Amino acid sequence: MKVIAFNGSPRKNFNTAMLLKHALEGAAEAGAETSLVHLYDMSFSGCRSCLACKSRNRPRTGLCVLRDAATPYLEEALNADVILLGSPIYFYTESSSMRAFMERLLFPVTRYEKERSLLKRTIRTALFYTMNITEAEIAKRNPPFPENFSLSVIEQSAFFMKRVFGHCETLLCTDTMQVQDYSKFYMDIYDGATKKQRHDEVFPLDCQRARELGRRLASASDLQDKESS
């Protein structure tokens, strides 16, 4: 069992990365071989719309034909049993590095035919999101956008992950602490003490949820291969 996680945050030891690390610890507890990749360490681009992955003149490998720092990790992901993607929410969507990586990962495997995925087996996947907004703000979910956050972006990403890989779950971590000391930044709309209190009390619970999800995905046995489902 191989589990690979991709951190779409520029920070390696903060909210998003910590959730992924706990998920990988849970997977390791289930006996999986795990690895963590930091996307911001790599120089790569998103999809170039060359459509080479759809050409009748090339073999259909499901792997993007572009060659850059992301290439070996894209190949590793397609050979994994579990893929974990983690990203902070920036301007109501994933970080730019995560969006670019998802384009490169998903599009070559996506078919414009009756069968929508090239994959013949299920790869278990999960999306981990960290965000500054609160559960109350999410619960509103009323127009006009973007004054009240909508989960549509997250739901759409989960939809495409499930369509390509056959499975996807999401874990949301809300009202996160962005900095250790809010007094050092122009961030007056936030109460640093309140943020820290929530981080101390709630974030460990989010990390535990991540650990449990990683353990379950690495040990699940009730997901059938696509060709047999």
HEC secondary structure over 144-174? CCCCCCCCHHHHHHHHHHHHHHCCCEEEEEC
Which residues touch 92 (CB under 8 Å, ≥6 apart)?
145, 146, 149, 150, 153
In contact, 99 and 46? CB cutoff 8 Å: yes
pLDDT of the chain, 229 residues: tens digit per residue: 999 999 999 999 999 999 999 999 999 999 999 999 999 999 999 999 999 999 999 999 999 999 999 999 999 999 999 999 999 999 889 999 999 999 999 999 999 998 999 999 999 999 999 999 888 777 765 454 455 555 688 899 999 999 999 999 999 999 999 999 999 999 999 999 999 999 999 999 999 999 999 999 999 765 544 444 4
Model-level pTM? 0.91
Q: Which pLDDT score, from 0 to 100, does residue 135 have? A: 81
Closest CA to 17 of 110, 94, 108, 130: 130
Q: How many CB atoms lie within 10 A of CB 152?
A: 12
Q: Is 85 helix (H, G, I), strand (E, B) or coil?
A: strand
Backbone angles phi, psi at 112, to 5 degrees: -95, 55
Q: Which pLDDT score, from 0 to 100, does residue 99 have? A: 97
Closest CA to 136 of 174, 83, 185, 167: 174
Using CB atoms within 10 A of its CB, is residue 76 exposed (0-12), middle (13-18) or buried (19+)? middle
* Domain 2-221: CATH superfamily, name plus number: Flavodoxin domain (3.40.50.360)
Q: Is 42 helix (H, G, I), strand (E, B) or coil?
A: coil
Classify residue 121 by its DSSP letter.
S
* DSSP H helical ranges for 57-191: 71-78, 96-106, 135-140, 152-165
Which residues touch 57 (CB under 8 Å, ≥6 apart)?
none
Considering all CA atoms of the chain, what is the largest pairwise distance in Å, rounded to the nearest integer? 60
Classify residue 48 by its DSSP letter.
-
What's the token pair of residue 198?
């929530």
What's the token pair of residue 138?
């999410």
Q: Is 143 left (phi over 0), alpha (psi -120 to 50) or beta?
A: beta
Classify residue 122 by its DSSP letter.
-
